[in-house]
Amino acid sequence: MTSSQTQPMPTVPRVVGVLGLGAMGSGIAADLKASGFDVVTALEGRSARTKARAEKAGVRVLADIGAVVQAADTFLSIVPSDQAEPLADAVVTSLKGRTSNRPLHYVDCNSITPSRSARIGARVAAAGATYSDGGIIGPPPGGRMKTRLYVSGPASEVLTALRSDHMPVIRLGDGLTQATEMKVLFAAANKGATALLANVLAAAQQVGLLDRVVGEIDGARPGLLQCVRSSAPDLDDKAMRWAIEMEDLAVGLEEMHCHGGYHKAAAESYRRLAANLEGMPSNTDPLKRVLTAWAGPKTG
């Protein structure tokens, strides 16, 4: 799919469908609700935790994805990367019965590869909807750091209406994969650097030199280790998701004619970390706990 393909021109967002409601999706849904948008979602097959997030965000819960597609003029897909295409396919199927005279504007905001974004965009456009690419950088809205929603595509200008004090919306251009490319590049640097440094520090801990190595790095490159220190407390929940992301990031970098081998290795390390963290006592220093699990036995 290229940016020159003709798509229906979307209207300014009023009713925004958000799926799914993980930490990021529910945070963005709550931010949109606070900005005055009518935010709708569906919870079929979802956990009690997700239902609690929906209630906290104050969104309207509809019967199913078909009902969300019927009600919304803008649809934000914010799901784990392996769910991005199945969700897009479900929306495409639901578009067949849509009766609204406002064209649906589908925005894929997931951590996927540029080629997958283009593939999803082609399916959505073929079904008669408008497609824009999206990429989310930062934590969910409402924290100390702002969430940045990058968008691209010929129709993406209207999405700047979703901006708030907690979430600027930044338009990159007309390309239908630019926002995904932005996400790939940032995540490859951010989470890839975390893996590189964790690997070195885990080795240092194994030979009793952790404090010495940390001291040297802090002295020579102040702030360099912050990505590992800040990530460590959350890696119980994030390590497996980051493993999946690393695999997509490797492919994404290769699609940009750069090397993906390092991120494939990082994916393997994050998978090992996720497995080894299970059952480990949590009443220890988060960083040293992660480094111990990082150097633990290989899985599989």
Only one residue has tokens 């490859």, namely 188
Long-range contacts of 228-237 (CB under 8 A, 24+ apart): 228/194, 228/197, 228/198, 228/201, 228/287, 228/290, 229/287, 231/194, 232/286, 232/287, 232/289, 232/290, 233/286, 235/273, 235/274, 235/277, 235/290, 236/277, 236/282
pLDDT, tens digit (0-9, with 9 covering 90-100), for 257-274: 999 999 999 999 999 999
CATH number of the domain residue 223 falls in: 1.10.1040.10
Sheet strand arrangement including 148-152: 60-62, 38-42, 15-19, 74-77, 105-108, 130-137, 148-152, 169-171
Same domain, 85 and 115: yes
| The pLDDT of residue 299 | 63
What is d(CA 122, CA 171) in angstroms, rounded to the nearest whole number? 20
Of 102, 162, 155, the closest CA to residue 131 belongs to 155
DSSP 8-class letter at 18: E
Q: Is residue 4 part of a domain?
A: no
What is d(CA 232, CA 27) in angstroms, rounded to the nearest whole number? 22
Last residue of one domain, picked from the residues 147, 175, 203: 175
Same domain, 128 and 48: yes
Please classify residue 265 by burial: count the beta carbons closer than 10 Å to its beta carbon, then call 0-12 exposed, 13-18 middle and 19+ buried: middle
Q: Is residue 283 part of a domain?
A: yes
User: What's the whole-number average pLDDT of the chain?
Assistant: 94
| The pLDDT of residue 256 | 96
Q: Above pLDDT 70, what percent of the chain?
A: 97
pLDDT bracket for residue 47 (50, 70, 90): confident
Backbone dihedral region of 45: left (phi > 0), alpha (psi from -120 to 50 degrees) or beta?
A: left
Q: Is residue 5 part of a domain?
A: no
Q: Is residue 7 part of a domain?
A: no
Contact (Cβ atoms closer than 8 angstroms) between residue 127 and residue 13: no
**Average pLDDT over every residue of 41-48:** 88
Last residue of one domain, picked from the residues 175, 193, 228: 175
**Domain count of the fold of the chain:** 2
Same domain, 231 and 150: no
Contact (Cβ atoms closer than 8 angstroms) between residue 121 and residue 1: yes
pLDDT, tens digit (0-9, with 9 covering 90-100), for 50-101: 899 999 999 999 999 999 999 999 999 999 888 999 999 999 999 998 888 8
What is d(CA 280, CA 223) in angstroms, rounded to the nearest whole number? 28
Same domain, 122 and 38: yes
pLDDT, tens digit (0-9, with 9 covering 90-100), for 229-240: 999 999 999 999
Q: Which residues contact 196 (CB under 8 A, 6 or more apart)?
A: 262, 266
Same domain, 171 and 210: no
Same domain, 24 and 109: yes
Can you give the residue range of the structural domain that contains 61?
A: 15-175
Same domain, 276 and 168: no
Residue type, 121: G
| The pLDDT of residue 3 | 44
Contact (Cβ atoms closer than 8 angstroms) between residue 35 and residue 94: no
Q: Is residue 8 part of a domain?
A: no
Same domain, 161 and 199: no
Q: Is residue 234 part of a domain?
A: yes
Of 134, 135, 153, the closest CA to residue 6 belongs to 153
Q: Give yes or no for residue 154 having a pLDDT over 60.
A: yes
Same domain, 264 and 170: no
Q: Is residue 299 part of a domain?
A: no
Same domain, 139 and 234: no
* Enclosing H/E stretch for 15: strand 15-19
pLDDT, tens digit (0-9, with 9 covering 90-100), for 9-28: 888 999 999 999 999 999 99
| The pLDDT of residue 283 | 82
Please classify residue 30 by burial: count the beta carbons closer than 10 Å to its beta carbon, then call 0-12 exposed, 13-18 middle and 19+ buried: buried
| The pLDDT of residue 274 | 97
pLDDT bracket for residue 2 (50, 70, 90): very low
CATH number of the domain residue 134 falls in: 3.40.50.720
Same domain, 142 and 234: no
Q: Is residue 6 part of a domain?
A: no
pLDDT bracket for residue 300 (50, 70, 90): low
Same domain, 128 and 234: no
Last residue of one domain, picked from the residues 140, 175, 210: 175
Q: Above pLDDT 90, what percent of the chain?
A: 86
Q: Give yes or no for residue 1 having a pLDDT over 50.
A: no
Whole-angstrom CA distances from 169 to 58, 113, 281, 283 are 22, 21, 40, 39
- CB burial of 242-259 (b: ≥16 within 10 Å; e: otherwise) equals bbbbbbbbbbbbebeeee
User: Which one is predicted more confidently, 47 or 190?
Assistant: 190
